[in-house]
Each structure stands twice: as C-alpha cells, then as structure tokens.
C-alpha cells in the first residue's frame, strides 16, 4: 500500500474482539466510532496543512533536490519493516487479551523495536556503501535511518489503541506534525539547505514520541514498570513473522519504482515522479475513512447473517470503486493544469505520470476492503503472499518499462502491481474467490443508481 496511506489501521485486526465486548462498560461500538473519528480528523489535518506545506517544499527544492530527498526516503524506507517487526496488531491483541501483563508487553515490544531499529540502521548503512551511495545522498539516508531509533517508545500508541484512546496519539502526533510544518516553512524562508529537511523528518518522529510519553505519564502510565521478557518476545515474533515479510513486500512494491528510477535515470526524474505520486495519493484518506466507518457494522453481523453481510460488502465495494472513479477521471484530464498550478513549470513532466498513477486509487480503495475482510476471516497469510506477488510484478515491470518509458513506465508498473495484489490474487484461492467476485461486481458502479 502507498506510503502515506492513512493506515493507522492495526486496530481493525482486533476489532472483532472489541465488538464482542461492546456491552461491557460504556457502549463499545460508540467508542470505536469515536476512535475512528479522531483518526480521520488526524488525516484531515495532515491533508489540509500538509498539502500547502509539501507543495511549498517541492517548489522550493525543485525537481533535482526533491528527487534526491525522495530517493533517500525510499532507500531507507525499504528496510523500515525491521523497525516495526509487524508487531502492531499482535501487541494490541495481546494487550486486549492479557491486560494484567501490560507493562511486560509494552516493555518487551519497546525492546524489540529498538533492537530492530539498530539492526535496520546498520543494514541501511552497509547496503548503502555496497551499492555506491556517497556524498550528500549518504548523509540524507543516514539521517532518515536514525528516525526509527526514536520511535521505540511509539508502542504507547498500541496501548492507546487497545483502550480505544487513539485521540491521545492523534494529539501527540498532530502537535509534532504542526511544529515540523512550521519548521519547514521557516527553513524555506531562511533558504535552508536540503539536509535541514531531512533533519526535520527525524525531529518530527522524535517529538511525536516525546509527546506520547508525556501523555502516557499524565494518564497514570509509569515507564519504570516496563519490563522486557524473553518469553513474550519469542511469542510475539513467532506470530508476527508473516506480517514482517508482508511489510518488506509492501516496502518493495511501494518504493522500488523510485529506487529503480534513480539507478536507471536521474535524480531530477525521481523528483518529477515523486511529486506526481504525492498528488496522486493525497485523497487516500477518504476510502480509509469510509471502510473504517462501514466495517464495524459489517463484521458485527456475524455468521448468522451471511447473506446480509455479503450484500453490504457488495455495496461497499461499489461505493469504493465509484469514489475512485470520481477522483481519477477529472484528475487524469486536468493533470497537466494541476501540476503547473501547484508545482510550477519545473515539474511540467509530472502531468502524464499523474494521469496514469491516479488510477491506482481504485485498486487501492478496493484493496482496503479486501484487507479488512481477510483479517475477519483469519487469512493474513494469504495477504502476505498476495503482497509478495504484487511486489514481484512491480519489480519485473519496472525493469521492462523504465528503460523505454522512464517515469511513465514506473507509473504503469505501479498500477499493474496494485491490480495484481488487490484484485487478481484473490481469484487464485478458494477461500478468497468470494471477495474477488465481490470486487468485480463492485467495479460495475452503474449498479449504484439501479
């Protein structure tokens, strides 16, 4: 899935458990909706403020320097699954099922994530030297690789998710985001060098972790009680390994296009392509918000009302496809004008790329619904294999298309990979064929008015 997809969605993996307990204490379904509203509000803030700031940053840096920064982010991000270890959904589930072990679970997870971040940093530097990354680009990659070291205590977010208190995380991260946005504006006004913008990326993650710690302590949490234990660590890693592999596959097929463009073309081309992708992915919070709102009701129908659940899934896929089409059609036609107005003449070549890449929103939106369904049906291993398939297709198509079509070929490769991972793959497994047909029916969007 796209890098900036508003996917603080690990809570969906434990949503059925929450729904089963919705009659305990205050109404749990209402709490889930409130939790979702805070997450969506966070995305709206980031879209509103972020659009202005990122456009300003891109115009200030220009195609070549923005391409250099984008490449550094993509290179380091390729290894970031080592820092998260696929633990989010596992940890939230553990916190829900064993609340009496909260301090052990949080301490163990923080230790694992810090160890993963150290390993990630060493691996990034080793690979960077091996492939010939040097000079300013190496400095940028190294700085960005430091970010996960300060995110080990981000496990507080998992605790907030388990308590349906994501508003605490949203407030902490939102404040860090606003401060970093002000910092970017200041850097532009002061004429700062490129390295300053990489430093701000690290500063934002660090501030977010600090604010979450302060919030955790203000609500009675005590970090000194956290303990690392080998038994829970092994149990978590044993459960999360498919998600670790899936995370690497996602990183490959979301970032390999920028990496291959860098090796096969120039940094300026990477900057033009990355600018188009930024604009293409801006609206992804909309299908996420829709699925977040719809799936609790769909999952709560249970096994006794399969036909009604199937009907609602069918309707959801129609709406998701219709939403994607409503965004893709006008954007494809107006892509050149949008690029000129927002980015300026230096990025004029991003217009055709945007016209192709914007269509990835349809398989991405349908894929969101598919992923929720796979979680509900306990088919997360299939999700891993589907993602690996999409990553393989993306690499092969990039190798074939970039030498001939450049960044436009990379956009086509990404579109095809998203279709394979999200729509084609479910057709090849008996337990997922139902969701394949639901997605295909969803593409018949004229049924919405029937």
Q: What is the pLDDT of residue 450?
A: 52
Give how many domains the chain has, as a whole number: 1
Instruction: Answer yes or no: is pLDDT of 306 > 70.
Output: no
Q: What is the pLDDT of residue 140?
A: 94
Segments forming the whole domain that contains residue 372: 10-449
Residue 306's alpha-carbon distances to 140, 298, 310, 311, in angstroms, are 52, 10, 6, 9
The answer to whether residue 3 is domain-embedded is no
The answer to whether residue 371 is domain-embedded is yes
pLDDT in tens, 80-131: 888 888 777 677 777 777 788 888 888 888 888 999 899 999 999 999 999 8
The answer to whether residue 194 is domain-embedded is yes
How many Cβ atoms sit within 10 Å of the Cβ of residue 396?
A: 13
Q: What is the pLDDT of residue 138?
A: 92
Q: What is the pLDDT of residue 295?
A: 63
Q: Please report which confidence band the pLDDT of residue 399 belongs to, taking 50, 70 and 90 as the band edges.
A: very high
Q: What is the pLDDT of residue 99?
A: 80
The answer to whether residue 200 is domain-embedded is yes
- CB-CB contact of 415 with 407 (8 Å): no
**Residue 346 and residue 59: Cα distance in Å, rounded?**
8
**Residue 433 and residue 325: Cα distance in Å, rounded?**
24
pLDDT in tens, 331-377: 999 999 999 999 988 899 999 999 999 999 999 988 887 876 776 66
Locate 370 and state its tokens: 């598919």
The answer to whether residue 2 is domain-embedded is no
**Residue 182 and residue 188: Cα distance in Å, rounded?**
10
């Amino acid at each position: 899935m796209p890098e900036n997809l508003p996917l603080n969605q690990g809570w969906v993996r434990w949503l059925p458990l929450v729904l089963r307990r919705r009659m305990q204490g205050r109404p749990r379904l209402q709490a889930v909706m409130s939790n979702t509203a805070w997450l969506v509000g966070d995305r709206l803030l980031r879209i509103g403020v972020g659009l202005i700031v990122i456009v300003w940053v891109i115009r200030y840096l220009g195609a070549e320097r923005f391409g250099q920064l984008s490449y550094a982010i993509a290179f380091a991000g390729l290894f970031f699954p080592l820092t998260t270890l696929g633990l989010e959904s596992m940890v939230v589930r553990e916190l829900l099922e064993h609340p009496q072990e909260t301090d052990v679970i949080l301490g163990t997870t923080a230790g694992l994530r810090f160890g993963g971040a150290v390993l990630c940093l060493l691996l990034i530097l080793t690979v960077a030297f091996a492939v010939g990354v040097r000079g300013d680009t190496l400095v940028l990659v190294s700085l960005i690789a430091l970010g996960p070291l300060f995110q080990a205590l981000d496990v507080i977010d998992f605790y907030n998710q388990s308590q349906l208190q994501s508003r605490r995380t949203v407030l902490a991260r939102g404040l860090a985001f606003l401060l970093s946005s002000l910092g970017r504006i200041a850097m532009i006004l002061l004429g700062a060098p490129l390295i300053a913008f990489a430093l701000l990326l690290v500063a934002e993650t660090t501030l977010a972790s600090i604010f979450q710690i302060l919030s955790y302590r203000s609500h009675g949490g005590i970090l000194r009680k956290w303990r690392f234990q080998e038994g829970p660590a092994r149990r978590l890693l044993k459960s999360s390994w498919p998600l670790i592999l899936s995370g690497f596959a996602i990183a490959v097929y979301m970032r390999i296009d920028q990496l291959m463009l860098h090796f096969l073309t120039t940094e300026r081309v990477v900057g033009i392509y990355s600018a188009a992708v930024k604009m293409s992915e801006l609206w992804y919070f909309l299908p996420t918000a829709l699925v977040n709102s719809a799936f609790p009701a769909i999952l709560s129908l249970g096994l006794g009302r399969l036909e009604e659940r199937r009907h609602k899934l069918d309707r959801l896929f129609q709406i998701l496809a219709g939403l994607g089409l409503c965004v893709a059609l006008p954007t494809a036609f107006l892509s050149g004008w949008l690029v000129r107005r927002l980015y300026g003449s230096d990025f004029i070549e991003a217009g055709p790329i945007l016209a192709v890449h914007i269509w990835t929103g349809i398989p991405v939106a349908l894929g969101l619904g598919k992923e929720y369904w796979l979680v509900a049906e306990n088919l997360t291993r299939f999700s891993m294999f589907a993602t690996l398939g999409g990553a393989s297709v993306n690499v092969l198509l990039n190798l074939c298309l970039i030498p001939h079509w450049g960044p436009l070929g990379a956009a086509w490769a990404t579109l095809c990979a998203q279709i394979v991972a999200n729509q084609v793959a479910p057709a090849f497994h008996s337990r997922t064929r139902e969701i394949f047909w639901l997605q295909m029916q969803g593409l018949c969007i004229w049924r919405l008015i029937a």
